[in-house]
């Protein structure tokens, strides 16, 4: 069960408290419901949106909120999208963004994680308008998560923790290029440094991404992963596509999707980021490979 904690005690980033407005009545608060959403561009930052719907007969403003669960610590306001005073009119919907707290992973390395059946969040709302509203009131509202976003984030976080307990994975700071069978390919490195006293971690597969494909297609597996025994994998790649917007709008294509077993138990995919210098090398390689002007 997801139980949210109170977060805001004063007025949010909005207008002054209006003297003619009181706190939010219970019968109004009871007509608020929320939906948890997460866009793909927010996966890496572990940011989720809490969208609140107002089915009462009273106009409100939405000032912010907080999310907490048995599986995650207290959520926090994001610096890139801070809380704003949003009109939450009768029949309307408005949302706010929070970064998930630290995951609370189950003991052992089973590769399985649970999820809460009942979700709750606290939201801070007030009666009135953005420029003239009453005292901020923190209320608890039910939350639906039909997309399973919390369960996915929990699985990813716990897999990352399990893998990191046995090996430190990092992409190298640069890419090199070489000619193979009449084609220029790029080669990136992935270091896999064992953690002293940690579990046995074996990389079983590394997928391509929206930007890069393993040479020959499919995924890196088998002989392509033999280098992990020495702690360094060299992965030859070509661009997945050559359209400009694939690079200009990309948010996840430089992350390596790594599948691994921890003490023989398969884990959820772990995404290993690429350093900025290597990103520059990659983008230059794609531009040359695709013959961009």
For 262-270, what is the mean pLDDT?
A: 95
Average pLDDT, the chain: 88
**Res. 241: pLDDT tops 80:** yes
Whole-angstrom CA distances from 222 to 79, 167, 216, 267, 293 are: 42, 19, 13, 18, 37
Radius of gyration of the chain from Cα atoms? 24
pLDDT given at position 111 = 53
Give the 3-state secondary structure of residue 237. Answer: strand
Asked if residues 243 and 262 have their Cβ atoms less than 8 Å apart, the reply is no
**Res. 126: pLDDT tops 80:** yes
**Res. 155: pLDDT tops 80:** yes
pLDDT given at position 20 = 64
Strand 219-220 and strand 176-180: pairing? unpaired
Asked if residues 200 and 263 have their Cβ atoms less than 8 Å apart, the reply is yes
**Res. 53: pLDDT tops 60:** yes
For 190-202, what is the mean pLDDT?
A: 97
Phi and psi, residue 36, nearest 5°: -90, 130
46 pLDDT band, cuts 50/70/90, is: very high
Strand 137-144 and strand 32-37: pairing? parallel
Tens-place pLDDT, residues 97-120: 999 999 999 775 555 555 544 678
Asked if residues 155 and 44 have their Cβ atoms less than 8 Å apart, the reply is no
DSSP 8-state symbol, 93: E
Give the 3-state secondary structure of residue 165. Answer: coil
Give me the percent of the chain exceeding a pLDDT of 70: 89
């Amino acid at each position: 069960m997801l139980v949210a904690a109170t977060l805001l005690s004063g007025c949010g980033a909005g207008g002054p408290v209006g003297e003619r407005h009181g706190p939010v009545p219970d019968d109004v608060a009871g007509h608020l419901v929320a939906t948890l959403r997460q866009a793909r561009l927010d996966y890496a930052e572990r940011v989720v949106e809490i969208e609140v719907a107002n089915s009462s007969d009273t106009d409100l403003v939405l000032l912010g909120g907080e999310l907490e669960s048995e599986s995650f610590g207290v959520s926090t306001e994001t610096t890139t999208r801070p809380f704003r005073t949003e009109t939450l009119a009768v029949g309307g919907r408005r949302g706010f963004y929070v970064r998930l707290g630290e995951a609370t992973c189950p003991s052992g390395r089973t590769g399985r994680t649970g999820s809460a059946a009942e979700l709750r969040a606290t939201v801070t709302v007030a009666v009135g308008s953005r420029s003239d509203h009453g005292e901020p009131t923190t209320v608890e509202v039910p939350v639906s998560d039909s997309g399973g976003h919390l369960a996915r984030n929990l699985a990813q976080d716990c897999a990352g923790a399990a893998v990191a307990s046995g090996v430190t994975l990092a992409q190298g700071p640069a890419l090199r290029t070489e000619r193979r069978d009449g084609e220029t390919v790029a080669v990136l490195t992935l270091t896999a440094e064992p953690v002293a006293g940690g579990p046995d971690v074996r990389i079983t597969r590394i997928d391509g991404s929206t930007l890069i494909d393993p040479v020959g297609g499919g995924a890196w597996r088998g002989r392509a992963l033999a280098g992990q025994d020495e702690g360094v994998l060299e992965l030859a790649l070509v661009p997945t596509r050559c359209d400009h917007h694939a690079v200009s709008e990309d948010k996840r294509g430089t992350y390596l999707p790594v599948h691994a077993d921890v003490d023989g138990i398969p884990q959820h995919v772990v995404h290993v980021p690429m350093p900025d210098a290597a990103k520059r090398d990659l983008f230059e390689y794609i531009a040359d490979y695709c013959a961009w002007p």
